[in-house]
Amino acid sequence: MSYFLKKTTPSSKGLYLQIYESFYDQVKHSRRNKCFKTLGYFSDLVKSGISDPIEWANEEIKHLNDESLIKKETKISDISASKNIGYFLLKAILDKLNVDYYINMFSISKNFHYVLSDLVRTLIYSQVGNPGSKLKAYENVIPSLYNSQAYSYDQILDCIEFVGNDYEKFIELFNHQINKKYGRKTNVNFFDCTNYYFEIDEEFEDKQKGPSKEGRNSPIIGQALLLDAEQIPLGMMMYPGNKSEKPYLRKMIEDTKSRYDIKGRTIQVADKGLNCARNIYAAVVEANDGYIFSKSVHGKNLSNIEKEWLLLNNEFNVWHMVPDSTGYAKYYFKECIDDFEYSFVDEDGELTRFTVKEKRIVTFNPSLAKKQKNEIKKQIEKAEKILTMKAALNSEFGDLVKYLNFTSVNNSNEKIKIATSLNTKKIEEDLKFAGYNLLVTSELNMDAKEVYNVYHGLWKIEESFRILKSYLEARPVFLQKRESIYGHFLICYLALTLLRLLEIKEFENALSVSEIVNFIRNFNVTETPEGSYVNTSTMSKTFKYIEEFFGSCVMSNMFLKKRDLDLILKYLI
């Protein structure tokens, strides 16, 4: 295993730095690379105070490679003696939810040679403690869990496929128990979608080529995620990578209300990607729900009259300032209520027109305006530089195409588009509307600042996707069968749900998910020849907080006996 620096330019922001890990894949019997850590854009790192990000990154890579070399030289017997006990946190929350009895009911008709609930638990512990392939879990991770049972590789794959076949039922079970133990707040639901790539070339089943979040050209699979008002996962839905994400907002809301018998009115919160006439119709007309969506202020999304209103500042269009903690403007806003017409074509090709009374809130953020203007100027400079070098094809510009004019030319009996000049009209419009954002809502009586705050709760669902993709390493996916893939994502989803319950319900936001995960991975013990254990974990504020939370008198001891570890595994929340 070794580490190296990967430099790419995925967008107009310029050079993007990542640390990649090179390793030998035991399944495909070949060398493979995967992202170990994202460092960020070169320009952002410079702004944060790092004078030479390349040198800084190479120093970190040297440190990682040195550590890797030391680990390789460590005796296998020493490694096998190290056991993870930090997973007791996940065990405690699972014990509280009391899901084992119901999970095992799923397997009544199956001739499993293992207890289904035990293996599901173990896979969750493995995904949080040391994520990776199922082969890695079998060979290295599960054996390193203190007091873990032994499972064959076939049993692990069999379990993943089994739970993936009915993943919705497992989510329903966990939601039922969460509602029973904690209660659910479903008056507001946050919704968003993402996708995950596969290290394959050919499309198969749900693995289809579509607009990848990472900008990759490999097949992807889509995932829709629904959070409740407290930002705890409420539902997950998987779908083919070439399908639009917009219908899944409606499907998940309908499915959630039906499965959990939710009678009350729900406010759906989503970004501009989910804002369409069909979803508004489904929320207001069909479900008698509400919505808070953002709406793009660029291009053809708004009429000229609406764009003029955005910029107006007079006695009839009063802007209000919302200060930050220092008294400077955090953002400005103004609002209006009016009837707005929408239309869409349904599945049968019929045109539906309808009118809704809607509150619209436009905000202007000075800091965001400055940032967006700088980004636009950098894009213009990049486009100008390429234009002076040669007549460039459409495909060579990526996101820059919106700032260019193109002409079609014949090339070997095929028409291609070549960039010829800057699109000054589009550039001027984007500069004019930099820093502006438009929110549309059915909640006419909700205060504008409350609408703003509720909408900006969407950052939590974006964070949830980052947790799934980084800490839980939900991607890349090495499984092939659809049911196995769904089972993999179910385990990741359940792991995320447990971490959120710990963060929000138990620790009351005193600890972040990253701190909880780091604690779980750090709390290890090493067995001595005498049969006792040495606590090799590193003390931290997080460790002390959790120790005090459980009232433990042994967690921080250097020398631990088997009865001490067994006691820790019995801690209750």
Q: How confident is the model at residue 115, as a pLDDT? A: 96
Closest CA to 189 of 264, 272, 244, 239: 264
Domain assignment present for residue 312? The answer is yes
Name residue 6's beta-bridge partners. Answer: 18
- 112, 128, 171, 421 from 494: Cα distances, Å: 22, 10, 8, 51
What is the tally of structural domains in the chain?
3
pLDDT at 437: 94
Instruction: Check whether residue 246 and residue 387 sit in a common domain.
Output: no
Would you say 62 and 70 are in contact if contact means Cβ atoms under 8 Å apart? Answer: no
Do residues 380 and 461 share a domain? no
Residue 554 in contact with residue 567, Cβ under 8 Å? yes
Contact of 268 with 531, CB cutoff 8 Å? no
Give the Cβ contact number of residue 301 at 10 Å.
Answer: 13
What's at 329, amino acid-wise? Answer: A
pLDDT at res. 398: 66
Q: Concatenate the DSSP letters of all residues of 279-342 into one string.
A: HHHIIIIIS--EEEEEE--SGGGS-HHHHHHHH--BTTB--EEEE-TTSSEEEEEEEEEEEEEE
Residue among 188, 136, 211, 153 nearest 461 (CA): 188
CA–CA separation, 508 vs 510, rounded Å?
Answer: 6
Q: What is the CATH number of the domain that holds 230?
A: 3.90.350.10
Sheet holding 14-25, edge to edge: 2-11, 14-25, 30-41
Picking from 73, 95, 111, the residue at the C-terminal end of a domain is 73
Separation CA 123–CA 226 (nearest Å): 23
Residues 270 and 393 in one domain: no
Task: Give the end of a domain, one of 41, 73, 105.
Answer: 73
pLDDT means over runs of 10, the chain (573 residues): 82 81 64 82 81 85 75 47 94 98 92 94 97 91 94 94 95 94 91 84 80 75 91 92 84 81 82 88 90 86 86 86 92 94 90 95 94 92 75 59 78 68 89 94 95 92 91 83 94 97 97 96 92 92 96 93 95 94
Instruction: Please give the Cα distance from 178 to 190 (Å, whole number).
Output: 18
Cα 163 to Cα 70, 153, 166, 441, 541, distances in angstroms: 39, 16, 6, 38, 37
Domain ranges, residue 390: 370-432
In a shared domain, residues 280 and 324: yes
In a domain, 89, yes or no: no
Q: Do residues 307 and 427 share a domain?
A: no
Residue 414 has a pLDDT of: 63
Determine the Cα–Cα distance for residues 521 and 543; give it in Å rounded to an integer: 12
What one-character DSSP code corresponds to residue 390? -
Both 355 and 383 in a single domain?
no
Return the structure tokens found at 418.
């070549």
Decide if 160 is inside a domain. Answer: no
pLDDT confidence of residue 77: 42
Q: Is 115 exposed, middle or buried (0-12, 13-18, 19+ CB in 10 A)?
A: middle
Residue 21 is assigned to a structural domain of this protein: yes
| 374 and 333 co-located in one domain | no
Give me the sign of the Cα torsion angle 75, 77, 78, 82: positive
Q: What is the DSSP letter of 408?
A: E
Tell how far CA 153 is from the center of its chain.
28
Pair 282, 338 in one domain? yes
The enclosing H or E element of 64 equals helix 53-73
Residue 63 tokens, joined: 């440190």
69, 174: one domain: no
**Is 246 domain-assigned?**
yes
Residues 441 and 428 placed together within one structural domain of the fold: no
State how far the Cα of 75 lies from the Cα of 534, in Å rounded to an integer: 17
Q: Looking at the structure, do residues 400 and 320 belong to the same domain, yes or no?
A: no
396, part of any domain: yes
Asked whether residue 494 is assigned to any structural domain, the reply reads no
Cα(103)–Cα(443) distance, rounded to whole angstroms?
A: 40
User: 39-76 burial, b if ≥16 CB within 10 A, otherwise e?
Assistant: bebbbebeeeebeebeeebeeebeebeeeeeeeeeeee
Give pLDDT, residue 79: 43
User: Do residues 316 and 410 both lie within one domain?
Assistant: no
- Reduced to 3 states, what is the DSSP secondary structure of residue 114? coil
- The answer as to whether 499 is a domain residue is no
Where among 444, 467, 490 does a domain terminate?
467
